[in-house]
Amino acid sequence: MAEEKKDTDLWEVFIQPKNGLSHRHCGSIHASDRNMAILAARNVYARRGEGQSIWVVKSKDIVSSDPNEKAENFSADDKIYRHPTFYDVPDDVGHM
Amino acid sequence: MKKDMVDMVFEGLLRIGDDNLILGHRTSEWCGHAPTLEEDLALPNIALDLIGHAQALYSIAIQLKSDYNHEDQLAFLRLEHQYKNLLLVEQENGHFGNTILRLFYFSTYMKYFWEQVSINCFFKKLKEFAEKAFLETSYHSKYSSQWVITLGDGTEESNKKMLEAVSNMEPFIGELFDNDEFADISFKNKFLPKPSSIFKNWEKEVKNVLKKGKLNLPEILLKKNGGRKGEHSEIFGFLLSDLQYMQRAFPNSKW
């Protein structure tokens, strides 16, 4: 049994709205372990039938880039050939 | 249905409806006071589920008797001795661990109760409702069991508080499994399960969870009862004056 009070971790919550769609980030919660994290995510973000599956991941386990490095990470403005704007997406394709 | 059957079904609906209404009301007292934002959403959500169960049960009940035309009459306009809820659910919240343990005991009981009703009940309206109620109470049981483990096996202080909760609840558990005359009659008529028949499953699950939380379930003896006969604790009057205030002050008011 831990002697000291341990603060709860911050977790990021992702919800998959339906089959075939990707899990989308919807917010964060505090919880002491993985079981509690799923329950807290359900209590806070899944109250109105938002989806069918929940992911939680500790915020500190996410590796993120420095926003100051935006210019070198996101330098596609002058490379229009990287955007699929020369194709028409048929209506039936739905989500792409 | 014959009159004695109608009376039996009505009594049964009141008993379960009152358990849910009163625990829902107690749980709602946490709204705005829970220790974290996550719990401040979780507890009122659960309170709403419980009150929703009560509303569904009362609305089935009023269709059986011509004296009532709205479920609010059952929820808000009865006197103390006309409520048939268990003593366990009317006890004051105490600290968070205490509230959680009470919810764990009750929802685990109700999970097995609704499971039986969804299989065996002759009364179709209740049998259908039992499926939805089973899902919701299963979640309440899961949610509270996680907290019992987390707090029981947490810090020295949280373990101490859970030990307190275990001893606070102990006198009121026996009533959950008490078979009275109504319980026998309603079981014989394939209406509701016998409370004692739920004990084995309940005990196994509760012991298992408490053990994970470094806690022990005390021996269950029938120490206090009377709730089913309308004999309540002193604090119940204060609970009702709060619960009934709006309907008493503004009769027939609606949302």
Please, what are the domains in chain A?
Answer: 9-93 (3.10.20.520)
B220, with CB counted inside 10 A (0-12, 13-18, 19+), is middle
Closest-CA residue of chain A to B140:
A39
Pick from A9-18, A41-50, B70-79: least confident: A41-50
pLDDT, position A48? 84
Residue pair B176/A23 in contact (Cβ under 8 Å)? The answer is: no
- Asked if the model's pLDDT at residue A1 lies above 80, the reply is no
Residue that has been written with the tokens 């949302």 in this structure: B255
Range B3-249 has CATH code 3.40.50.1820? no
- Asked if the model's pLDDT at residue A85 lies above 90, the reply is no
Check CB contact under 8 Å for A39 and B142.
yes
B38, B157, B159 ranked by CB distance to A29: nearest: B38
pLDDT, position A81? 77
Count A/B contacts: CB-CB distance under 8 Å: 44
pLDDT digits 0-9 by tens, B90-103: 999 999 999 999 99
Mean pLDDT computed over every residue of chain B = 96
Q: What percent of chain B has pLDDT over 70?
A: 100
pLDDT, position B75? 96
Residue pair B19/B89 in contact (Cβ under 8 Å)? The answer is: yes
Three-point CA angle B201, B184, B101, nearest 5°: 35
Closest-CA residue of chain B to A37:
B38
Average pLDDT value for residue range A5-24: 89
pLDDT digits 0-9 by tens, B71-88: 999 999 999 999 999 999
- Asked if the model's pLDDT at residue B255 lies above 80, the reply is no
Strand partners, A56: A13
Q: Which of A43, A44, A56 should be substituted to probe chain B, the one whose Cβ sees the most B Cβ atoms within 10 Å?
A: A43
A5, A31, A35 ranked by CB distance to B155: nearest: A5
Strands A53-58 and A9-16, sheet pairing = antiparallel
For residue B143, which residues of chain A lie inside 8 Å, CB to CB? 39, 43
A83 vs A78, A87, A94, B205, CA distance in Å?
Answer: 10, 10, 18, 57
User: What is the pLDDT confidence band of residue A2, given thresholds at 50, 70 and 90?
Assistant: very low
User: What is the pLDDT confidence band of residue A6, given thresholds at 50, 70 and 90?
Assistant: low
Check CB contact under 8 Å for B36 and A30.
yes
Average pLDDT value for residue range A34-48: 91
A2, A35, A47 ranked by CB distance to B155: nearest: A2
User: What is the pLDDT confidence band of residue A96, given thresholds at 50, 70 and 90?
Assistant: low
- Asked if the model's pLDDT at residue B43 lies above 90, the reply is yes
Average pLDDT value for residue range B223-237: 95
What is the rounded CA–CA span in Å between residue B23 and residue B108?
14
Check CB contact under 8 Å for A44 and B150.
no
B149 vs A2, A56, B112, CA distance in Å?
Answer: 14, 20, 21
Q: Which of B48, B146, B149, B156 should be substituted to probe chain A, the one whose Cβ sees the most A Cβ atoms within 10 Å?
A: B146
Pick from A24-28, A32-36, A45-49, B72-76: least confident: A45-49
Give the tokens for residue B215.
């806690």
3-class SS at B127?
Answer: helix
- Asked if the model's pLDDT at residue B180 lies above 80, the reply is yes
Domain boundaries, chain B: 3-249
- Asked if the model's pLDDT at residue A44 lies above 50, the reply is yes
- Asked if the model's pLDDT at residue A71 lies above 90, the reply is no
Give the tokens for residue A69.
């490095």
Q: Which helix (H) or strand (E) holds B173?
A: helix B156-173
Question: Residues for chain B: how many in total?
Answer: 255
Strand partners, A13: A27, A56
Residue pair B168/B94 in contact (Cβ under 8 Å)? The answer is: yes
For the entire predicted model, the pTM comes to: 0.89
User: CB distance from B66 to chain A under 8 Å?
Assistant: no
Check CB contact under 8 Å for B156 and A3.
yes
Q: How far is B154 from chain A (nearest CA, A)?
A: 6
Pick from A82-96, B26-40, B167-181: least confident: A82-96
- Asked if the model's pLDDT at residue A5 lies above 60, the reply is no
Average pLDDT value for residue range A41-70: 91
Closest-CA residue of chain A to B142:
A39
pLDDT, position A3? 43
B146, with CB counted inside 10 A (0-12, 13-18, 19+), is buried
Residue pair B230/B132 in contact (Cβ under 8 Å)? The answer is: no
Sheet holding A24-31, edge to edge: A24-31, A9-16, A53-58
**H-assigned helices in B174-254:** 181-188, 199-212, 235-249
A1, A4, A47 ranked by CB distance to B45: nearest: A47
3-class SS at B180?
Answer: coil
Q: How far is B196 from chain A (nearest CA, A)?
A: 31
